[in-house]
Structure 1
């Protein structure tokens, strides 16, 4: 079963080590279960002649003994199945947990390229299939293989010549099972890929239904969806067809072998090399062989499908990870917020830098606005400050500490982000503000007051205990943004990053959010990505980025008087605003 493969099922075996005690008891029950088969076969060989002789006492004695052995066997089977189920499920849980932990450290650039629907399918359906295969391997396939060996041993002892003739069929059956299994694995990989694509399309469709309706594109989406499910059907049908074809092919060989044994057994009895007792035991053993062979065949197909699932799970491990924390990380406490960038260069593709030799200096408590066209490097600069990416040249200092020398979590406790598009997890409002941090109710309410959110939260049906629905759909955009501000300031960060947090709001909501931002910004170093230039006029510094370079800097008034790129951007936006109004 555990053949070398790209999936690497053997790599799961170390995860079973913490459960060796439970596994040992399970294996003991398995050995009792398997060991009962030779005894039952032996009793069957004695029972049939006793029936023919009409010896009632002997028949009843043999039946009673068989019932006792059978009862012990079934108790052992129950112990085997129940004891071995736990470790298999715990390994699956550990695998899923480890992969999700690893997923949280995948580089954001790589993560954005992955389909949410595909990842969801891998960590749910694929992980479940791996669990099922592991469970069946431990509690079903392994006992079936041991049963095969035990029964074949008895049959060799009864008549080694006849058994040797049967074993000549074994390579043919194994070859056919392997041949079908390899094709089943390929077909399963294709099928699972189609399911992942279908899950991705469903995620996009559900989130984008309002847009679909707005463009009257329902027919287009329906056609696309039906095309995806048809491809999925075809892929699944191929898998089912291969499995369905395997059963009659392998079964025909097994039946041919059975008839051959009957013919050879009759010849052996006629020649006097085998008596009726031996033949009865032998045929009983042959019947007992059928069930484990069927189990091994079916489970091998499922194992191949499980390998395809495990291979897809392991692909998550191959995604590039965030840079690790330095070995000798510098400990930091509460910082003031002095920020300095020295000749910082970075590119997602090193041959095409996004930021080029950027120098910036921001004093603690100052507000710096970043302006410039799309692609100028503003968001990339934020990703460097949060250490989602690491500078390739130069360095970034926070209170004199090089960011590359800090633990990522220590840094991110000092740097908070308010994104342009707020994301919240389902749960209470208080939980959305805490966001997994150990904060008291008083701290949560203080953060909400700073964000100008306390009044509207208390007006909700259950106040801070009000449950937010998926994507915060039961509160307004302005309210959601103020919750995001409260979430950002809860940890009292020294550096606050604002990605134009009001650009998608109406005037009334923007005023409420602006008040929350003003209160949240007090006493902190703030960097603002500004798309609407009217929002940055009061910044202490305005830096103009273009093609990854700082092309101008200064206050709003100074930059307007100087002319140049900033004034050009302002005048263009002012003209657009006049035209729109």
Structure 2
């Protein structure tokens, strides 16, 4: 299934195994030298850890052959030196590993934010805030734990396992082969687990996203839920999502209950087997007593790295699935980020457009419209006529099912988000105030704007309340600061539009939260500031249509009338009836 198809179905994509591996390789290459240092230190630490059992075997053989205490003391001092070297090398290896993990995690976080901001609005809306929020918090945290802790620990453990098995084969080939065969149980158990764990953790992450979406939407719409008596229905939806989370987590837990006991048995019981076989070989003179003890100690030392692998393998699988989900966000950006050409001008053409929301019938039926550069067009009509849907298509938020929407002869859908926002900006009645100062909220639209330009933008939309705040533009907004009401939030959004200065502005009930007199004054102020720009106003208040160059009347998903205010009144059609009704005539 393609990223576009997944996004159309309301799901953010998940990166495939090969795609996730390539992304991981790219991250490693960005820190090539530190990775080499980390590998070298880990290798040296693992090699130093082999010295103790080998020297202990030598001590046993030397004592058996009558060596003096001086030689034994020197060998014992060597054991201490090897242990100290392993401690220091291991410490620096882990330090290098943690630094690599934190730097890489910072890159992943920055990349995730960039991709999330570059997502087409329609993709983000269909996916819901729950999925995106879960990927940006829980999944990124899981990836961070994997990089910082699990990755380095498992790598060190694997190096130690390889070195220890190599040392066993060097000390005694028969006993070394016996030790390798004894580990076959771990291999089979791990293979069984790994085949099932990735899919299990992906399902668990998806269930967490659904639960976050259900809880978040219920909390956000609590008043609506209460007003419409939907409590039982929302409780049932939450219970279903919780049950899905419980089921997926129980599945991954069951996988661990199979893996852990098998591994636990597989690295303890073989020690007894090696001692029994080694004793038999020693009795025939095939293997020395020191070699038997050294081999048994080497295998016993396998318990520590295998314990670490056992401890972190579950985290690795969770991290692998989380990384696939985090990396998958990029797949939703890729189809749009390919980009189209550069628009020749600001002319917008809508040709034969039909559009249907997912799983529903068409809400637009063969719409044709041309908006000339610099024109002020009002789109009016009864509720449900398709006005807002047309606005979203014009702004590139949605893509038509058939037909095309172009700006300057370039399909809007082919413009990358940065290009699109320079040409077309949609302002609806839904506004957001970000945590930060008034200045921060305004500079989102123009990062390099001076204070003089910020004040000019505020004045353009009749904002005078900012000057009355304790710290003016530096006043913090949101939790712990000044909380603007709905009207003030809408004014801030309009001021951002002035700063963004697009050549086409689409106002979808953008002044609906202002009182009628203020709304009309604000719209006229905007028109003066944006003189020469194209303004498409979708509104129920018909004074907007009166001030426009042309009026498009929509009904039943079609444009039924198109002309100036006076022309449509003279035609005495649907617009004239709306005008008379609005004036109470």
What is the TM-score of this pair, normalised by structure 1?
0.85
Judge conservation of contact 2:476–2:482 (CA < 8 Å) in 1. Answer: no
Q: Answer whether contact 1:180 1:242 (CA < 8 A) is retained.
A: yes
Residue 33 of structure 1 corresponds to which residue in structure 2?
Answer: 45
Structure 1 position 56, deviation (Å): 4.3
Q: Distance in 2 between matches of 1:402 and 1:11?
A: 31
- Separation in 2, partners of 1:8, 1:410: 29
What are the residue-to-residue correspondences of 1:157-556 with 2, within 5 Å? 157-215=170-228, 221-222=234-235, 224-319=237-332, 321=334, 323-324=336-337, 329=342, 339=347, 341=349, 343=351, 345=353, 347=355, 354=364, 356=366, 358-362=368-372, 364=374, 366-374=375-383, 376-388=385-397, 393=403, 396=406, 409-410=418-419, 412-437=421-446, 438-453=448-463, 455-469=464-478, 474-505=483-514, 507=515, 510-522=516-528, 523=531, 524-556=533-565
What displacement does 1:153 show?
1.7
Cα distance change on mapping 1:385 and 1:134 into 2, 3 Å: same
Q: 1:166, 1:261 within 8 Å by CA — same for their partners in 2?
A: yes
**Deviations, residues 408-429 of structure 1 (Å, cap 9, x unaligned):** 6455335443322222322111
SS at match of 2:32: helix
Matched, 1:43 2:55: yes
CA pair 357-246 structure 1, distance change in 2 beyond 3 A: closer
Report the CA distance shift for 1:449/1:471 in structure 2 as closer, same or farther (over 3 A): farther
In structure 2, C-alpha distance between the alignment counterparts of 1:552 and 1:193, rounded to whole Å:
47
Matches within 5 A, 1:102-141: 102-136=115-149, 138-141=151-154
Does the 8 A contact of 1:182 with 1:304 survive in 2?
Answer: no
When residues 465 and 184 of structure 1 are mapped into structure 2, their CA distance, relative to the original with a 3 A threshold, is same
- CA RMSD, 1 decimal: 3.4
Query: Structure 1: where are the runs of 5+ without partners?
Result: 333-337
Question: Aligned partners of 1:471, 1:511: CA distance in 2, in Å?
Answer: 32
Match of 2:3 in 1: none
Q: Encode CA deviations 1:422-442: one digit per residue, 9 max, x unaligned.
A: 223221112212215210000
Deviation at 1:204, TM superposition (A): 1.1
Give the distance between the partners of 2:33 and 2:424, measured in 1 at CA: 47
Offset of residue 270 of structure 1: 1.5
How far apart are 1:369 and its partner, in Å?
A: 0.6
Matches of 1:403 and 1:154 in 2, distance apart?
A: 65
SS in 1 for 2:349: strand
Verify: 1:15 aligned to 2:27, yes or no: yes
Mapped partners of 2:193, 2:313: distance in 1: 10
Aligned pairs, number: 562
CA contact (8 A) 1:478 1:513 kept: no
Rounded Cα–Cα distance in structure 1 between residues aligned with 2:416 and 2:129: 28
In 2 relative to 1, CA 416–145 (structure 1 residues): closer, same or farther, beyond 3 Å? Answer: closer
**Using the alignment, how far apart are the partners of 2:439 and 2:279 within structure 1?**
81
For the Cα contact (< 8 Å) 1:330–1:407, is it kept in 2?
no
- Measure how far apart 1:353 and its partner are: 8.3
The answer to whether the Cα contact below 8 Å between 1:330 and 1:406 also exists between their aligned partners in 2 is: no
Q: Indicate the residue corresponding to 2:13 in structure 1.
A: none
Q: Cα–Cα, structure 1 residues 343 and 140, in superposed 2: closer, same or farther, change >3 Å?
A: closer
Q: 1:289 to 1:494 in 2, by over 3 A?
A: closer
TM-score (norm 2): 0.85
CA–CA distance in 2 between the matches of 1:449 and 1:481? 14
Cα distance in 2 for partners of 1:216, 1:375 equals: 24
Distance 1:91 1:259, change over 3 A: same
Return closer, same or farther for 1:422/1:556 CA change in 2, 3 Å cut-off: same
Segments of 5+ residues of structure 2 without an aligned counterpart are 1-15
- CA separation in 2, counterparts of 1:7 and 1:328? 28
Q: What are the Cα deviations for residues 332-370 of structure 1, in whole angstroms up to 9, with x where unaligned? A: 8xxxxx745374635468996836352334463x43211
Cα distance change on mapping 1:514 and 1:472 into 2, 3 Å: farther
Which residue is equivalent to 2:164?
151
CA positional deviation for 1:451:
0.6
Which is worse superposed, 247-256 or 25-34? 247-256
